Amino acid sequence: MRIAALVFAVLMLSACTGLQRNPIEATDLVDPQVPGIEGARLWADVTPPNLEEIVDEAAQQRRAAGLTGPQTTLSLSGGSEGGAFSAGILTAWSEVGTRPEFTSVLGVSTGALIAPFAFLGSDYDDELKRLYGGLPPSQIFESRSIFGILPNASIKSTGPLKALIDEYLTDEFLAEIAAEHRRGRRLAVQTVSLDAQRPVFWDLGTIANSGAPNAAEVFRDVLLASASIPGFFPPVLIDVDSPGGVRDELHVDGSVFSQSLLVPGWRIPKSATRNSTLYAILNSKVTPELDATDLGIRAVTFRSLSTLLKAQAATDLAIAFESSRKDSARFQATWISPDFTVPLNEPFDPDYMAALFDYGYTRFKTGNLWSDKPPE
């Protein structure tokens, strides 16, 4: 009886607290847009009808800004605490003095959180080291009580992460991103619309450059959504226009669809990719790790998820390699090798992240980092 009463209480609380929806109609999910910000989002699984115009506009802006050299794209994958690998690489790359001013920076999940700092360049390396060099988990998430799990659709609250993003998301920060966008550089991240069951390409530069009163809020919500691991972190409601007024659309971690934002479904003109270079950083391992799995539900679940993500990540790199080859682009990829053996004792373990940051830093400094082919 006590258990039944507890379950009843939780269900009652679920009905009156937590996430509340004003959902977009299924018929309006063909091409939903953000109120007041034109061009903020595109579907990532089909070629946009105006892609040639988008590519031409960026090319014209780069010519006007004097950015006439070879194009470079940086792709930052998902991987949760594995983002420390990218942070270490970028820091070492800056110190060596060969880090490009990337033409485009693309991010998914933890890669989406890194992307704005990578986009703005070496001046933000200290921020990357702070965020990924051993930040305590308490500054990323908080545990929920049993009464908060069901109504919020997650076991953790991202209140601390939201506050952390807001700390950096100042008017000056957005203005810097907008200025680079006007020079023809592009910053984009991926979420997944659960309502449409499709990946969404978010043009963060367009959002920052819009001057819209909701620009900072949308920018923050997109970053939160791209890193919202289903079940662990809460999904994010993002406002969209509809014939019936402003409604909401439910978004989660972009890695639900793919580990990297490489939009292989987009038929990009070869003139925009010829002689360019793709740098793809995979913030996870791809090789199998042999180990007897415990029969507990937690061990089986996490082991299964790890297997799925490894296979997905390896496939993403293989697709990126083939796309680069067909488009006459140079391919440079890296991933966490089996020689990194520091155990992960808890989600976002600060000791693990500090060690992985140093590992990425050292791999770059020793010249043992890039591969011109995907994993076997």
Q: What percent of the chain has pLDDT over 70?
A: 87
Q: Is the pLDDT of residue 246 over 90?
A: yes
DSSP letter at 46 equals S
Helix 110-120 vs helix 215-226: crossing angle, to nearest 10: 130
pTM over 0.85: yes
Partners of 198 in the β-ladder: 193
Q: Dump pLDDT digits (tens) for 261-306.
A: 765 556 665 555 667 899 999 999 888 777 777 777 666 766 777 7
142-143 vs 41-43, strand pairing mode: unpaired
Closest CA to 330 of 302, 296, 372, 298: 372
Cα distances (angstroms) measured from residue 140 to each of 124, 136, 165, 287 = 19, 7, 10, 28
| Residue 233 near residue 141 (C-beta atoms within 8 A) | yes
For Cα atoms 110, 111, 112, give the angle at the middle one, nearest 5 degrees: 90
345 residue type, one letter: N
Q: How far apart are CA 127 and CA 353, in angstroms?
A: 14
Q: Is the pLDDT of residue 65 over 60?
A: yes
* Cα gap 318→211, rounded to integer Å: 39
The 10 Å CB-count burial string (b at 16+, else e) for 212-228 is beebbebbbbbbbbbbb
Q: Is 67 helix (H, G, I), strand (E, B) or coil?
A: coil
Burial per residue of 140-153, b for 16 or more beta-carbon CB atoms within 10 angstroms, e otherwise = bbeebeebbbbbbb
